[in-house]
């Protein structure tokens, strides 16, 4: 999570259910990236945070398909 004007960066890990909480972040617009090995990255751009606001972001994260060919 990166503040668009201040450049502040916040990193957090999820719990076993994939949930996370960030508290007391400055107001403003943020770009949010969610990553996990084996899955495509998910991004939310220009997420507006205001005073006293709670934001819930849900997303779908498809697995990266891997294919290979062996020549025998």
User: Would 12 be classed as within a structural domain?
Assistant: yes
User: Would 72 be classed as within a structural domain?
Assistant: no
User: Would 54 be classed as within a structural domain?
Assistant: no
In whole angstroms, what is the distance from residue 56 CA to residue 48 CA? Answer: 12
In whole angstroms, what is the distance from residue 39 CA to residue 36 CA? Answer: 6
pLDDT at residue number 50:
92
Q: What angle do CA 9, 19, 14 make, to 5 degrees?
A: 55
Query: For residue 20, what are the domain limits?
Result: 2-49
User: Would 37 be classed as within a structural domain?
Assistant: yes
pLDDT at residue number 11:
92
User: Would 59 be classed as within a structural domain?
Assistant: no
Instruction: State the total domains in the chain.
Output: 1
- DSSP letter, residue 4: T
User: Would 55 be classed as within a structural domain?
Assistant: no
Output the pTM of the full model: 0.71
User: Would 60 be classed as within a structural domain?
Assistant: no
pLDDT at residue number 36:
80
User: Would 11 be classed as within a structural domain?
Assistant: yes
pLDDT in tens, the chain (72 residues): 999 999 999 998 888 887 888 888 999 999 998 888 887 888 889 999 999 888 877 666 666 555 555 555
pLDDT at residue number 29:
95
């Amino acid at each position: 999570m990166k503040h668009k004007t201040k450049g502040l960066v916040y990193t957090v890990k999820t719990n076993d259910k994939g949930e996370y909480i960030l508290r007391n972040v400055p107001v403003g617009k943020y770009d949010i990236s969610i990553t996990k090995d084996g899955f495509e990255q998910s991004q939310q751009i220009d997420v507006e945070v205001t005073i006293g606001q709670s934001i819930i972001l849900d997303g779908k994260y498809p697995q990266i398909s891997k294919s290979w060919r062996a020549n025998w």
